[in-house]
Structure 1
C-alpha cells in the first residue's frame, strides 16, 4: 500500500481551511485513502475512483462536520467508512460504530480499522435496526443516506435521550423537517463549506427528546 504523498499539499491546505492540524492527520488520512483506492479497484466500494477527487468529495467533505461531532457516535450506511473513519482519525477520542450491510464494504472497514489501528472503532455488518446498542450513542451520523424521517426510523433507537442526529445533506432539506417522527425536534441547520468543492452542503441537527 503506497501512500499517495503527491496529494498531501492539497489535503493539508484543506485541513487548514477546516481548522484542523495538518500533521499527523494528513499522513493518516492518506494511509486510509491508499487502502480505499487499492480495495476500490477490485470491490467497487465507491463510484469516485480518482484519488484527487476523493480528497475533496470523501475526506474533506466528511471532515467538514468535525466541529459538531463528539462522544460516542454511530455512523449508519457508512459505505467505505464515510464520514466515520476520517472523523475518528481527526479525533482519536471518539468512540465510533460503523454500520454497513454490504459484506464487501464491511470487510474493507474491518481491514481499515485494523490497518489504521483504530482501537475505538467497531464495525457492525448488519442493518441499523439490528445494531445491539440501543440508547447508547450521543450522536447518529448519516451522510446522504435517506430523508430525515427514514434515517430516524433506521437508527433513531441508537440515540440516548438528548442525543442528536447529524444528517449531512446537499441542499437544505426544509421540506423534510415537517415529517420528523414524534420524539424528535429540529435544532439547527448549518451551511457547510468543503474546501475545493463548489456545491451546496448542509448539516441538519435533530435532537431526540423522548424519554
Structure 2
C-alpha cells in the first residue's frame, strides 16, 4: 500500500518562480492533498502525479484577474481548489471557503489551521442559504456545476461590478453562449471567456467571467424552458 509520503510530488521549477515566498506553504498544502486528501476521497490518487501542473498552478494563475484586497467566496470549495491556493498566493485577499459537506469542511479547516491562513475562513453551507449574509467582490468555482446553475448560486452574492470566475474546460465558449440568456435573466451582467497564466501554465487556464452590472442583491428567476419529453433533471456534480 502506498503511503502518503510516497505519494508526494516535488514542485516543478516553474512552481518555484510562480509561488516565490509562498512556496513552502504551497508544498505543505500539496502534501496534505496527496495524503489526507486522497485517504478521505477528496481527490483521486491518479491526480497526485499532476497535482502541481493541473491543479495548484492552474488555480494560482487566476489571481491575475482578482483586484487587490478583494473579498472572495469560493463556492463548493471541496479540497480547497482554487480557494486555498488563492489564499496562499494572495495574503491581501479575504477568502471564504463555502462548502456544504461536513467531511470536506473538516479537511478545509485543518488546512487553514496547519497552513496558518489568517486570511481564509471556512463556512459550511450552500450558496443559496447564505446569500443574505455573504457579499463578495469575486466568486470562484471549479468543477462545481453547469454555468446557469452556478450563476444562480453566485450572482446573488456579488456586489455591483463583482465577478464570477468559473474555471472551465475546452468547451467554455460553447457553454457560455448556450447560457447567456439564462445569465441575463438571473441578474444584469456581462460575460466573456478569458485565459489566464499564459507563459506560466500550459495550456493557459480557461475562465468564464461573469460581471454583474446592477445594484440588485437578488437574482430574478429565469423563465422556465420547455424541453421535449418534459426536460431532463440534472443532479449537482462535484
1:128: which partner in 2?
Answer: 127
> Could you tell me how far apart the structure 1 residues matched to 2:123 and 2:96 are?
7
> Could you tell me how far apart the structure 2 residues matched to 1:112 and 1:83 are?
13
Q: Which one has the largest radius of gyration?
A: 2
Residue 177 and residue 48 in structure 1: after superposition, are their counterparts in 2 closer, same or farther (change >3 A)?
A: farther
Q: Which runs of 5+ in 1 are unaligned?
A: none
> Could you tell me how far apart the structure 2 residues matched to 1:109 and 1:3 are?
22
Residue 122 and residue 45 in structure 1: after superposition, are their counterparts in 2 closer, same or farther (change >3 A)?
A: same
Q: How does 1:145-156 map to 2 (within 5 A)?
A: 145-156=144-155
Once the 2 structures are TM-superposed, how far is the Cα of residue 38 of structure 1 from its aligned partner? 1.7
Once the 2 structures are TM-superposed, how far is the Cα of residue 62 of structure 1 from its aligned partner? 0.7
1:207 aligns with 2:211: yes
Q: TM-score, normalised by structure 1?
A: 0.85
2:194: which partner in 1?
Answer: 190
1:98: which partner in 2?
Answer: 97
Q: How large is the Cα RMSD of the aligned pairs?
A: 2.5
> Could you tell me how far apart the structure 2 residues matched to 1:108 and 1:98 are?
11
1:178: which partner in 2?
Answer: 181
Once the 2 structures are TM-superposed, how far is the Cα of residue 68 of structure 1 from its aligned partner? 0.7
* The 10-residue stretch of structure 1 (112-121 or 139-148) with the greater mean CA deviation from structure 2: 139-148
Q: TM-score, normalised by structure 2?
A: 0.76
Pairs aligned (count): 204
Residue 135 and residue 29 in structure 1: after superposition, are their counterparts in 2 closer, same or farther (change >3 A)?
A: closer
Q: Deviations over 1:26-73 (max 9, x none)?
A: 211111011122212421111254433111121011112110123000
Once the 2 structures are TM-superposed, how far is the Cα of residue 134 of structure 1 from its aligned partner? 4.1
Residue 143 and residue 209 in structure 1: after superposition, are their counterparts in 2 closer, same or farther (change >3 A)?
A: same
> Could you tell me how far apart the structure 1 residues matched to 2:134 and 2:121 are?
17
